[in-house]
Amino acid sequence: MCYAKNMPDDGNYLQQKTAIFRFYGDLNKLLVPNRRGRESMLDFKGRQTVKHLIESLGVPHTEVGLILVDGQAVDFSLIPSQDERVAIFPHFERLTLSQLHQLRPSLDGQPRFALDGHLGRLAAFLRMLGFDALYFNHIDDSTLASLAIRDGRVLLTRDRGLLKRGTVVYGCCLLTLEPRLQLLQVVRRYHLTHYLKPFTRCMVCNGQLHEVRKADVLTQLEPKTRRYFDEFERCADCDKVYWAGSHHTRMLAVIEWLLQQVPPQAEMCTYARGNL
């Protein structure tokens, strides 16, 4: 149950107030250093929502999994009062919060993604694992956000400004430039190990792969491939042909590494109330 804790209008829109903010987990990586891992004061004027104040400190609303004000779960529309303590948590890996609060509609089933233009390798990795990952080399922010919203896709980007758009519901701010670590962050956040279907989607265009007879693709194969391989799949959209060659072996190593990093029984997040 979400507890809307808005205070009655005090009649003074420019009243100076101070609230105490504390961010947890990876959210600290999005803060300036002197606000990380500790309570810090935030001065503001008038009736500003907790969502606006959190974003003013550098954390897009998409990254927030839970907000507690004086120990009560609240939604983004809360307007903090003087001296209130605001605790902001990231998405929990293993804790279901649906009974506690609802900052956004739950993302049911297998997530689909829309990726920013600088995330080509992450898009290829996600497709390799079988996920629907929309990606274009060159796409403007408005179009990308619209596509994500239209299809209920999770917007993946390193651009915090893009994630702060009010219309964006689901998003993930990638904390690293390294594609494999980006993949790990996304797999952990969205529990993707439950949905893995490796080598079922085209890494180039996101199309579905289908088995195809060798005789039907013979003209598309190099001589060595023709000699050593007999099983093939073809993209339904762009006709690219796939087989279990050296690229396949490298991708298997990525999957094995990923499963080592995300064990099936990951520890439940344990932010104790006493530490807030």
Catalog residues that contact Zn ion under the rule CB under 5 A. Answer: 202, 204-205, 207, 235, 237-238, 240
Closest distance of CB 210 from Zn ion, Å? 11
Closest distance of CB 40 from Zn ion, Å? 49
Q: CA angle, 92 as apex, 155 and 20 as ends, to 5°?
A: 95
Residue whose CB is less far from Zn ion, 241 or 262: 241
User: Cα–Cα distances in Å, from 271 out to 68, 76, 267?
Assistant: 12, 20, 12
Q: Which residue has tokens 């209920």?
A: 152
Helices (H), the chain: 50-56, 120-128, 141-151, 160-163, 179-189, 214-217, 223-228, 246-261
Q: Which residues pair with 19 in a beta bridge?
A: 42
Token pair listed for 108 = 């049911």
Residue whose CB is less far from Zn ion, 204 or 255: 204
Residue whose CB is less far from Zn ion, 210 or 250: 210
Closest distance of CB 201 from Zn ion, Å? 8
Residue whose CB is less far from Zn ion, 175 or 204: 204
User: Cα–Cα distances in Å, from 216 out to 209, 230, 236, 243?
Assistant: 15, 11, 14, 14
Token pair listed for 176 = 């690293």
Closest distance of CB 199 from Zn ion, Å? 13
Closest distance of CB 207 from Zn ion, Å? 4
Residue whose CB is less far from Zn ion, 41 or 238: 238
CA pair distance 60, 257, nearest whole angstrom:
30
